[in-house]
Structure 1
Amino acid sequence: MRGGQLEHVLKKFQLSGKNSGFDDDSMKELSKFTELSALMLENCTSITTAGFLQLGEFLSKKKMETLMIGHANNFTDAVLKLLKEFTKLYRLILRNCTALTGKGFEDFPPTSRLAELDLSRSNNIEDASLKHLAKLAKLMYLNLYGCEKVTGEAFADFGDPHLSLRGLNLRGTSFSSENTFPLLSRFWNMLPRELLYSQT
């Protein structure tokens, strides 16, 4: 395959490793790929916030369906805000992204196709930011494992009959069954039969 042709055929890119050498310049090159529908980067610690902001320049952002970023302390709310332009994004996994508070979800439109959201161990996620998820009518699975600042207060804004939430993981949060189960009951009929929770 001739040089440059790969930019028009590659649909999935996955990389893991602290010593991979994948950095801000690599993100800039990846932004030129026009058909990319899945991007998974784990432990790519050489990418700075400026590198992640390159996501806003991705030529494939209207085609991206899956984005997974793991162990990335430089993935911030400013980067998260850019993802509102990823109109086909269905699965978003942001594990161990400790700079995130979730405020970036404020700009996500109600028409977002986002169905699976994994924020596990992104331990600066806050209740105030999770309230913005209540408007996402297609959200089906929400993983908050290890998000220690989450108490469950955000669920007071859930319960819209258009929501399709089916799975919720609250293990490792500050969720209190005594204070919060009455709120969960507002949308219990939407949950699967899959509520993961353990009292700490």
Structure 2
Amino acid sequence: MTSGADELPAEILLKIFSLCAYSDLVKSIPYVCSRWQEVWRDRHIWRSLVYKPTRNTKRTSIVALLRMRPHLRAVDFSKRSIRCDIVQILRDCCHEVERFCLSCNTYSDMNRLVFSPVFLNIKVLVLTEKGIPRITLQYLSSYFPKLEHLECQVKYFSKSDLVLFLVKMQNQLHTLGLRCITSDGYCILPYLSLCSKLKTLSLRHVCPSLSPEHLPLEAVPHLKNISSLALENSSTNITIFSLATFKFFPNIKELYLHYYLRPTDIFDQVAMNFPHVEKLAFRYCYNLENDTCEHLRHFDKLTSLSISYNDEITDDHVKHFKEISQLTHLELYACDKLTSESLIDCCGFSQLQVLKFDFHYNLPCKLEPSHVKNKNLRIIFYRCKELSIVENLKKGGVKVSVLVDRAESFGNSVFL
């Protein structure tokens, strides 16, 4: 006789299983009962999940799961160093994999990988910097023939290698993430025009001396399809002059700036060089002055703003966000000087539809349902331990939910 969860239809159980943690899905659920095991074997669960083993996951467990679950669509090894024999098993057993993130231990491992047989169905590839001192890009085009999205965090590749790779991939590459400067000192910008279908561009280690001269005018017409741009530099600040280089990308609607250390008049410069920007994100961007934030009113098309990992932004900065007339999505994460006053102010923005707010260090909250002016506003709290606040807001008709922390992107990529 069955009871409780056993009586639920298979479709409902599938939905519940898809929301479970990966460890529970692998170690617990298939051993509860024979019916759960039968539903657990359904291929649709595994097609929608990302298999991401941790650094403590045993090799035998990884091999067993890859052989047992041939319907995996996404595998992320960014947190776990692996040997090439596991990659070979993945290739031989999981023929439906379309998204693949890899971190190799040594150059010899990577060398054996690129000379292995072709991965026919992989469309998204992320190569993390850890343990890959050098790689030949043109091999990727040969062994991942359907590749459409590449995020390559490797430090060393030459100009000639880059050109050969882009020529081979020019009719299919939609997303490209690379270092801005090649290992032999050449800027990659002039060669981006080889990819006519490129829509998303992520550049790491942007040189502060980068100038508009690095982008020849004959290359500009070929960059009109790029709508998403991410710029990152972990060592020196991206200067306003280097930022102006990208004004020749005429249709940028999504702009992500990481490690922008001295953003003097940054909002003015972004508004000047990227007049059509709709989504704007700042990560580890310091020295955001109060007067600088006032310039946000120039963004008449901005609908989404994200500021994260900034310990200088205060409640006074947040007040200026109300002047962004079209703002519907706002995220404030790991901004440790913000108080509940900022949360209350944001809930008073009549046009806001989604608010993501971080409860750092058990931030005391005085938010009441009456503070929420827009009844369609959805509030998402990060790291909120005061569940009584959430229950009180729900009783007042406020749409609110809680996340343990931000969801990690595939392979720590900006866009994937």
Length-normalised TM-score, structure 2: 0.39
Structure 1 pair 47–78 and aligned structure 2 pair: CA distance change class (3 A): same
User: Matches of residues 165-176 of structure 1 in structure 2 within 5 Å?
Assistant: 165-172=353-360, 175-176=363-364
Relative distance call for 1:184 and 1:90 in structure 2 (3 A) is farther
> Which residue does 2:202 correspond to in 1?
14
- Is this contact kept in 2: 1:81–1:105, CA < 8 A? no
Give the CA deviation at 1:100. 2.1
Q: Counterparts of 1:191 and 1:142 in 2: how far apart (Å)?
A: 11
- TM-superposition CA deviations, 1:111-167 (whole Å, max 9, x none): 622222111112211211211111223322222111111114344376253x13313
Bigger CA radius of gyration:
2
Deviation at 1:197, TM superposition (A): 5.5
Give the corresponding residue for 1:26: 210
Pair 1:59-2:248 in alignment: yes
Q: CA deviation at 1:192?
A: 1.2
Structure 1 residues 87, 81: closer, same or farther in 2, change over 3 A?
Answer: same
On the 8 A contact 2:267/2:296 being kept in 1, the answer is no
**Structure with the greater relative contact order (CA < 8 A, sep ≥ 6): 1 or 2?**
1
Inter-partner Cα distance in structure 2 for 1:149 and 1:43:
24
Code of the residue aligned with 1:191 in structure 2: it is: L
Q: In structure 1, what is the equivalent of residue 313 of structure 2?
A: 125
- CA apart distance, 1:26: 2.8
Aligned counterparts, 1:111-150, within 5 A = 112-150=300-338
Counterpart of 1:49, as a letter, is T
Contact 2:207/2:242, CA 8 A, preserved across alignment: no
- The 1:138–1:39 alpha-carbon spacing in structure 2 relative to 1, beyond 3 Å, is same
Paired position in structure 2 for 1:105: 293
Q: Which amino acid aligns with 1:67?
A: L
3-state SS of paired residue (2:248): coil
SS of aligned partner of 1:69: strand
Counterpart mapping for 1:153-168 below 5 A: 153-154=341-342, 155-156=344-345, 159-161=348-350, 163-168=351-356
Q: Which one of 44, 47, 68 corresponds to residue 256 of structure 2? A: 68
Cross-structure match for 1:80:
267
Partner of residue 94, structure 1: 282
Q: Cα 1:98–1:136, aligned 2, differ >3 Å: closer, same or farther?
A: same
Contact 2:237 2:259 in 1 (8 A): no
The yes-or-no answer on 1:40 pairing with 2:230 is yes
Report the AA paired with residue 133 of structure 1: F
Give the aligned partner of residue 141 of structure 2: none
Q: Do 1:68 and 1:93's aligned partners in 2 also have CA atoms closer than 8 Å?
A: yes
* Greater share of helix: 2
Whole-angstrom CA distance in 2 between matches of 1:110 and 1:184: 30
SS at match of 1:23: coil
**CA distance, structure 2, for counterparts of residue 183 and residue 156 of structure 1:** 13
Long gaps (5+) in structure 1 = none
Contact 1:142 1:168 in 2 (8 A): yes
Could you give the per-residue CA deviations for residues 42-85 of structure 1, whole angstroms, max 9, x where no partner exists? Answer: 33433443445536x7133x5211111112323x1412222233
What is the identity, as a one-letter code, of the residue corresponding to 2:348?
G
- 1:26 alignment partner, SS class: coil
What is the DSSP-based 3-state SS (H/G/I as helix, E as strand, rest coil) of the residue aligned with 1:80? helix
Percent identity between matched residues is 19
Using the alignment, how far apart are the partners of 1:52 and 1:173 within structure 2? 37
Query: Given that residues 303 and 328 in structure 2 are in contact (C-alpha distance below 8 angstroms), is that contact kept between their aligned partners in structure 1?
Result: yes
Q: What's the TM-score once normalised by structure 1's chain length? A: 0.73
In 2, are the aligned partners of 1:126 and 1:150 still within 8 Å (CA)? yes
